[in-house]
Structure formats: C-alpha cells, structure tokens
Amino acid sequence: MSADATAVPSVPLGEDYPEIRAAIRRICEGFPGAYWREKEEKEAYPAEFVQALTESGYLAALIPEEYGGAGLPLRAGCVILEEIHKAGCSAGACHAQMYIMGTLLRHGSEEQKRRYLPDIASGRLRLQAFGVTEPTSGTDTTSLKTRAVRDGDHYVITGQKVWTSRALHSDMMLLLARTTPLEEVKRKSDGLSVFLVDLREARGKGLEIRPIKAMINHNTTEVFMDGMRVPAANLIGEEGRGFRYILDGMNAERILVASEGLGDGRYFIRKAVDYANSRVVFGRPIGQNQGIQFPIARAHAELEAAEMMIRKAATLFDAGLPCGPEANMAKMLVSEAAWHAAEACMQTHGGFSYAREYDIERKWREIRLMQIAPISTNLILAYVAEHVLGLPRSY
C-alpha cells in the first residue's frame, strides 16, 4: 500500500438515525403544501413550523447536553434537515441556528455559552441571523466595510449588511465587523471580529432592519448600523481573529445546507416518479417513455453520489479533522444534482408544474438558490482548483 493510501482516514457512512427521520416526518405531516403556499403568498414567517421543531428539541440537536441540548453530532443535524426538505417543507426559516451556534460553542467564553446556549436550546432565545455579506463586498468577506471601534466597555458599530435572513424574526445576530482598518493589517483576513448582537436592544438605537422582497420566502433583510453600541462582553473569542471563527462555522454550514438540497432532490424524484406512473397519455403511463425515465434516473444517481460526499464531510467534521474540500464539494454536487432532479420533475409534470397547488414551482425556485448561496459554484471550483489541486490562484 502506498504512503498516500495509508494517509487517507477511514470514513464510515455514519448513522442514519431512522427514529429521528420518522419523528421529523410526523412533524412535517402537520405542515402540508397549503401551509407553505399561504406563508409565501403573505410573505409571512412560518412561526408555527419553527415552534414545532423547537418544542420537539430538534433545533437544539447539536447543542451539548450540559447546555440543554441533545449533544448529537453534525450527521444527526444533516438527517433532520434532509428529512424536512424531503417532506416538502423548508428549514430555511431556522436552519441557521444549527451552524451559527457552532461559532459560539467553539469560540465563545464559558460565561457566554452558559448565558446564551441554554436559552437557545429551550427556544426562549432565537439566534437565527448571520450578518456577514455586504452590498459592495459580496463573497469577498475580507473586504467588508462594517467597522467596530472600541469605546470603553462597548464597541460602536457602523456599516451595512445584506441578505441577512431572519433578522426580523431573531433575538440575536452573529455579526462580522472590522476592528482594525484594512490598511493596518498584514493580511486581509486579520483585523475582523465576531460579535453577538442583541437585536431586541439595538433596534431603534443605531440599528435598522428592512425586509427585501425576493423570489423565495426566506424572510431576508438589509441591516443598517449607525453608531450601534454592543457590549465588549459580546465579542466572541479574540479581537481580530473573527474571520477564522467564521470559516470554522462555514464548513458546518456547507454540510447542513447540502443535506437540505439532498432532501429537496429526493422530494423532486418522488414527485416525478409518482406522477410519471399515474399520468396516462396515448394509452400508457408517461413513465414508460425513456425521455421521461432517463432524466429522473440520472438525477437519482447523482443524488446518491452527492450523499456519499455529504456523509464523508460530516464524518470528518465530527472527528475534528479538516473537511473544507469535502464540505464545499458536497454543497456543489448536491446543488447540481438537486437542480437536475427539479428540472426532471418540472418536465415530467409539464404544464401542471406551473400550478401552485402542485408545489413543484415553489420548490423549483427554492433549489435554484443553492448554486448561488451560501457560496456559488464558481467559488467552490476556484477553491478546489487552488487548495486541493494546487493550481494558481484565479481571483
């Protein structure tokens, strides 16, 4: 066996948690397509669905038992989100809590963890908003302009964030801001810090939140900060090291979001197969035609392959091993496989796919986002090219 081969860790598939899957399916049965269509028409937050997940304890699945959670591994979080989306529901209203919480858990002080995590686990406190992206910097995070200046026992923060989903429905926001000017740091990634912002206290006191009307009902917003004061005690970890903390949480984000896409893809496959078997044209089911069969079968195969990368990434993450390439590739592969499943489902349903009562067009719009956010396909390819294959930096 070669030296390279012995260096590769053994990666098990991980548990499948059938009992969790069954429980999530039971919860989702109470929130059929009509519920989601109504929320979208009214541009409303699915508060009842989020409350049901909270009361069942599944939003606290990844929080350690000592802080009131279930203490389950990331793989369990993947199963929860996958099953939600496979049922035709959406975890977009609450999934951020799973990966935002990780920054607090891994890099917060013991006092911060004991102060916030039990209330997050119980549902008394919502940590759902993630303030990173800005209008002028986009995914070039190190170029963000939001500034935090120390003033005694507070930081004074001025700047703007965009695509900050759920800020109007969250009690706390995790915020990345520059504490050292860009021209004063050796590396662009230095001088950035992470803060826990209490949105309940800050609104109207240097903080304004405006909703953004979008193609899908993700309750996304713009956040404007003008002299907003945040206690220095709310700084996560060390000042200036925030970019590293955010990157650490992004691997979990990629893996969890990929699991949602996997669930969406399986939703589309199931819908397409059921319709293809029941829809009769010219005296036979349309599923008998290879023009219908093949796209569905190919999408299914792609989803099965993408799931293996998700499981590998989650296993590495839970083992505390580097998993950046796997997390990014899992997200990319699922985004494309699920989109192919969505396209096959749309084509199989024909004109009926545009009828809202079928829910296909709603899920079709939702899954298209995965190729853009939380990181675009091209950025993942650039990352793999440079950091995995050793090709020259392309941007």
What pTM was estimated for this model as a whole? Answer: 0.93
Q: Is the pLDDT of residue 76 over 70?
A: yes
Beta strands in 188-345 (DSSP E): 192-198, 207-211, 221-231, 235-236, 280-281, 284-285
What distance in Å separates the CA atoms of residue 12 and residue 311, rounded to the nearest whole number? 8
Mean pLDDT of 64-86: 97
**Three-state DSSP state, 332:** helix
**How many percent of the chain have pLDDT more than 70?**
97
CA distances, 117 to each of 109, 121, 198, 207 (Å): 11, 6, 14, 24
Q: Is the pLDDT of residue 5 over 60?
A: no
Number of continuous H segments (helices) and E segments (strands) in the chain: 13, 10
232: Cβ contacts below 8 Å, ≥ 6 apart? 150, 152, 153, 154, 155
- Decide: 117 and 101 in contact? Cβ < 8 Å: yes
What distance in Å separates the CA atoms of residue 68 and residue 65, rounded to the nearest whole number? 5
What distance in Å separates the CA atoms of residue 390 and residue 137, rounded to the nearest whole number? 26
Query: In this predicted model, what pLDDT tens digit does every residue of 330-388 receive, in sequence order?
Result: 999 999 999 999 999 999 999 999 999 999 999 999 999 999 999 999 999 999 999 99
Query: In this predicted model, what pLDDT tens digit does every residue of 278-295 receive, in sequence order?
Result: 999 999 999 999 999 999
What distance in Å separates the CA atoms of residue 280 and residue 155, rounded to the nearest whole number? 66
What distance in Å separates the CA atoms of residue 264 and residue 364, rounded to the nearest whole number? 9
Classify strands 172-178 and 127-131 as parallel, antiparallel or unpaired. parallel
**Three-state DSSP state, 33:** helix
- Decide: 194 and 176 in contact? Cβ < 8 Å: yes
- Decide: 346 and 391 in contact? Cβ < 8 Å: no
What domains appear along the chain, each with residue ranges and CATH number? 3-125 (1.10.540.10), 128-242 (2.40.110.10), 244-388 (1.20.140.10)
The pLDDT, as a whole number, for residue 2 is: 40
Q: In the predicted model, what is the mean pLDDT of the chain? A: 94
Hey, what are 209's tokens?
């939140």
**How many percent of the chain have pLDDT more than 90?**
89
Mean pLDDT of 209-225: 94
